[in-house]
Amino acid sequence: MNTGLDVGSTTAKIVRLESGIITASKVVPSHRWKELLEYGNKRDTIETIVSTGYFRRTVPHTAAITEITAASLGVRYYIPDAQVIVDVGGQDTKVIDLRNNTFLINDKCSAGTGAFLELAAHYFDIPVESLGKLHTRARRCALINNTCGVFAISEMISQLVGGYTMEEVICGIHQAFARRIAQMIPPVETLVLIGGTVLNTGIVESFESIHSSTVVVPPSPQTVNALGAALYGKKLRPEI
């Protein structure tokens, strides 16, 4: 059995492969990553664990690979001709250009990361998972220019005072988020979005409205890197 373990700053993900087929996958908060080692494990089988993410060298592993490698392998499992990947994580965002094996990373502040959306959800005292649903209720989008901490909150308050609803401010937050990341993306016909943040349909819709590329989200975008790690294990030990 080939196991991919992706332990990031916010969530931990596992994908198990048997004969190249996904047999189990699960997501838990990062501090509970040990739970994953038992999930879907068959004790009578030989197991290769390939880890990735912030804690890749901390968790048990046969080999550790970067998130860039994991994302490349995982995305190509679903989209063999993928060219550019945007991996939106809790603490950073990576833009990976598979055409020339280059990448850009934004990790200097919360701008364009899941942490920014968590900050906005905290301000409204709502679950971050509800942002996408609220986005769909907006009749217009408030203009938000900042995606950095207190400045964005200040803008949100100003727009609420100016008459925009919570839903319209959330729509504006998503568009500001997409605009920030769009600055890092090279010209490409099809853009692949991965990471737990893209489960937020408001983010995907904002990318589609702002970027000229066709936007594609693979199945289970949150576990793509764990899948890529498991596929790397398959390369190491093709016999299992």
Give the relative orientation of helices 166-182 and 201-210 as an angle to the nearest 10 degrees: 60
**How far is 124 from 126, CA to CA, in rounded Å?**
6
**How far is 46 from 131, CA to CA, in rounded Å?**
42
The confidence score (pLDDT) of residue 111 equals 63
Helix (H) or strand (E) holding 224: helix 224-236
Residue 192 one-letter amino acid: V
Q: With a cut of 70, say whether residue 240 has pLDDT above it.
A: no
pLDDT tens digits, residue range 152-207?
Answer: 888 999 999 999 999 999 999 999 989 989 989 999 999 999 999 999 999 999 99
Q: Are 211 and 187 in contact (CB under 8 A)?
A: no
Q: Are 17 and 1 in contact (CB under 8 A)?
A: yes
Q: Which residues of 13-32 are buried (b: 16+ CB within 10 A; e: fewer)?
A: bbbbbeeeebebbeebebee
Q: With a cut of 80, say whether residue 238 has pLDDT above it.
A: no
User: What predicted TM-score, i.e. pTM, was given to this entire model?
Assistant: 0.90
Strand-pair partners of 27 = 13
